[in-house]
Amino acid sequence: MAGEGKAYTRDTQYIEDRILDDPDARWPVEPGRYRLVAARACPWANRAIIVRRLLGLEDVISMGLCGPTHDENSWTFDLDPGGLDPVLRIPRLKDAYEARLPGYPRGITVPAIVDERSGEVVTNDFAQITEDFATQWTRHHRAGAPDLWPQELREEMDAVNKRVYTEVNNGVYRCGFAGDQQAYDAAYERLFTALDWLEERLATRRYLVGDAITESDVRLFTTLARFDAVYHGHFKCNRRKLTEMPNLWGYARDLFTTPGFGDTIDFTQIKQHYYLVHRDLNPKGIIPDGPDLSVWAEPHDRARLGGTPFGDGTAPGAIPEAERVPTSANPLVGTDGLVH
C-alpha cells in the first residue's frame, strides 16, 4: 500500500514457482499432492476457485478456505473446526510460507498452492496459478471442460487482460487506497475510462474475447461481482453503479448465472472482509445491509449476441457439498449449491 499523499502501488513480487506437466520438474503435476488455499472474500483467490471448478479439478487439487478476515500477519483457517486446516493442520497460512521461506518478508496472500507433503507454499502468483490450471493440468480436466486459453486468441487475451488488470482489477484498489485527492482523482478517471471501454466493447459481443468464456472473463467477473457491494461505496468508485452500466451489468448477470461463476460468490464474506479488515477506511467496522441481491436474477438477454458459454464443451456438474456457498450468503444459490 502507498504512503500518505501517494498513489496506491500493489506489491507484485510473488513466489513464482510453477507446477508443470513435466515429471522432472521441481513441482510436477501430480493429482492429490497440492492444496489450493483460497478465501471466498478475495477477488484474486476467487479466480482460482472459479477456474478449478470450470475445469473439474476438485478431485485432483484439494481446496482449503480461509475466513473472510485476517490480521496483519496472516489469513487464518477460522472456518475450520479448531481453527486448523484439516489437511495442512496449521492455523495460519503464514505457517506454510514460513515452512518454505523462514522469515518470509512479504505479505501473506491468497490464493496460494501448498505442497501437502512438505507443508510448503509452492506459489502465490495468482495469475500464473489459473493459467497453469488451464494449460498444465489438461490431462486431468473433466470431460467437456472449456478451453480457457485458446491458442488462437492468446495475443488478444494478453492485451485485454493487461488493461483489465491494471485499470479495473487493480484500479478499484487504486481509488480506495489513494493517499490524497490528486491520486484519487487520477485513479477514478483511469478506472471509469476503462469501464467505458468495456461497456462499449460488450455492446456487440457476449464475452470479452471470442465466442465462449475464457480466462479473460474470469478475471473481470470477480471485480464486477464486488463492485456495487463494496467498491462503489467503500472504495469511492461511485460515478455509476454496475447496475447503471447496461452492457457490463448484463454481461455480469450472464456470467453470474453460468455454472462455475455465481455459485462461487459469497456476498456475506465479501462484505465482511472489506468492511472489517479496512478499518482505516471504515473505522467503526459497520457492514452495510445492502445492496439488494435479487437484481442478479433479472434476465440479461445476452444470448442475442451469439456465442455459447462453454463452446463445444459442457457446464461443470454438481458442487461438492463441503464447497457449497450457503444460501444465506448468496440467495440465488439453491440447496444443491447451484445458481437458480
Residues 35-54 have a mean pLDDT of 98
Residues 318 and 189 placed together within one structural domain of the fold: yes
Residue 9 domain flag: no
Catalytic residue numbers read 42, 173
Binding site feature residues for glutathione: 75
Residue 3 reports pLDDT greater than 60: no
Task: State the angle between helix axes of 154-163 and 215-226 in degrees (0 to 180), rounded to the nearest 10.
Answer: 20
- Cα 229 to chain centroid distance, Å, stands at 15
Residue 60 belongs to a domain: yes
Segments in 136-214 forming alpha helices (H): 154-163, 171-176, 181-201
Q: Is the pLDDT assigned to residue 21 strictly greater than 50? A: yes
Q: What is the mean pLDDT of residues 17-40?
A: 98
CATH classification at residue 174:
1.20.1050.10
226 shares a domain with 300: yes
Residues 121 and 95 in one domain: yes
Residue 12, pLDDT score: 87
Q: Are 337 and 324 in contact (CB under 8 A)?
A: yes
What is the rounded average pLDDT of the residues 136-158?
Answer: 98
C-alpha cell at 116: 501437502
Q: Are 115 and 171 in a shared domain?
A: no
Tell me, yes or no, whether 1 lies in a domain. Answer: no
Contact 194, 248 (CB under 8 A): no
Nearest one of 221, 213, 274 to 249, comparing CA atoms? 221
Residue 298 inside a domain? The answer is: yes
Domains: count for the chain: 2
Domain ends where: 99, 120, 140?
140
Q: Is 122 helix (H, G, I), strand (E, B) or coil?
A: strand
CA distance 67 to 46: 13
* Whether residue 218 is found in the same domain as residue 297: yes
Helices 267-277, 215-226: inter-axial angle, 10-degree rounding: 60
Co-location of 183 and 241 in the same domain: yes
Domain extent at residue 171: 151-323
What's the longest Cα–Cα distance across the chain?
54
On average, the pLDDT of the chain sits at: 96
Mean pLDDT over residues 199-210, rounded? 98
pLDDT at 1 over 70: no
Same domain, yes or no: 297 and 186: yes
The binding site consists of 75
Q: Give 205-262 pLDDT, tens digit per residue.
A: 999 999 999 999 999 999 999 999 999 999 999 999 999 999 999 999 999 999 999 9
The pair phi, psi for residue 45, each rounded to 5°, is: -75, -35
Which triple of cell numbers denotes residue 71? 490480521
Res 6: pLDDT: 84
Tens digit of pLDDT for each residue in 267-310? 999 999 999 999 999 999 999 999 999 999 999 999 999 999 99
The three cell numbers of residue 130 are 489459473
| C-alpha closest to that of 22 among 138, 149, 152, 147 | 138
pLDDT given for residue 71 in this prediction: 85
